[in-house]
Amino acid sequence: MRTFLILLTRELRSFFYSPVAYVVIALVMIINGFSFRAAVAILERGPQQGSLVSWTFHSQWFWLSYFFIFPLLTMRLFAEERKLGTFETLFTAPVRTWQVVWSKYLASVVLYCLIWVPSLANFFIFESMTAGATEIPHGSLYGIYLLIFVMGLFNLAAGCFASALTSNQIVAAVLSFTISLMHYLLGVFVLYLGRRIPEQFVELVHYIATVEHIRVFTYGLLDSRPIAYYLSLAFVFIIGTHQVLEFRRWRV
């Protein structure tokens, strides 16, 4: 456990040694400002279905920030160690593979949480500025942030996996972006196909559709199925990462 904490601290520090952490936090703050402003603009037009929360997370701005976070946070994790050769010093020290994998993954998760904190502040600042004149449904606000958290767990795990596969950070970023985007598009494509496909298939795709999850959670509903879905996917990718790193010690 002590070794794990030491590794985790190093990983977290290493995010802040490079400009990556600051740039990502700043960019997401700006983009979230846009999506928040877009939601306010919609509400200004008159009574609408949906709340400030649901409009914020349905804007295109939100998706813009969503996709570039994961590659930026995870591409460095394993690829850089492979490139520098520090893999060898790391794994010849008395550390276990799971300690390395989880410390890197958790470091990216911590930073991911940090990134979303300023956007949460948007809502509270707005609430206090308008002296309660706007209604912000707190249930759906906490719901959506819970969903963003578990979606992050999955996408970051996929990013770790991509980073473990290669020594080139660009390749890792492209892979990670592709996994996140393909998963998203899988959920979107039924919207375009409409009802020309069997009902059961639509049901199945709704189960994995990120957009649908966001719709449900921004309406203040807590659905345990997406949470279980994202957590298990995250787990699968972390196991995959572990296996990729252990591969060199396989006896075939």
Partner 1 sequence: MIDVQNLTKTYVGKTAVDGLSFKVEPGEVVGFLGPNGAGKSTTMRILTGFLSPTSGTARVNGFDVFHQSIDARRSLGYMPENAPLYMDMRVKEYLQFRGAIKGLSGSLLRKRVGEVMDACALTEVRRKIINNLSKGFRQRVALADALVGKPPLLILDEPTNGLDPNQIRHVRELLLAFKGRQTILLSTHILSQVEQTCDRVLLLHQGKLRADDTPQNLVRKLRAASDLHLEVSGGTGFEEHLAKVTGVRKITAEKQEGNWSHFTLRIEARTDIREAIFDLALKNRWQIRELRRELPTLEDVFVELTHV
The site for partner 1 (CB under 8 A) is made up of 2-3, 6-7, 10, 14, 17-18, 84-89, 91-96, 248-252
Nearer to partner 1, 32 or 163 (CB): 163
Nearer to partner 1, 201 or 247 (CB): 247
Distance of closest approach, residue 241 Cβ to partner 1, in angstroms: 18
> What are the tokens at 40?
């306010």
Alpha-helix residue ranges (DSSP H) falling in 85-198 = 86-91, 97-129, 138-165, 169-193
Distance of closest approach, residue 29 Cβ to partner 1, in angstroms: 24
Distance of closest approach, residue 107 Cβ to partner 1, in angstroms: 14
Q: Is 194 left (phi over 0), alpha (psi -120 to 50) or beta?
A: left
Q: How far is residue 36 from each of residues 41, 168, 212, 252, measured CA to CA in Å?
A: 9, 36, 20, 54
Nearer to partner 1, 88 or 135 (CB): 88
Alpha carbon distance 185, 173 (integer Å): 18
Distance of closest approach, residue 98 Cβ to partner 1, in angstroms: 12
CB 6 within 8 A of CB 95: no
Distance of closest approach, residue 2 Cβ to partner 1, in angstroms: 8
Nearer to partner 1, 16 or 201 (CB): 16
Nearer to partner 1, 19 or 47 (CB): 19
CB neighbour list of residue 122: distance below 8 Å, 6 or more residues apart:
32, 33, 36
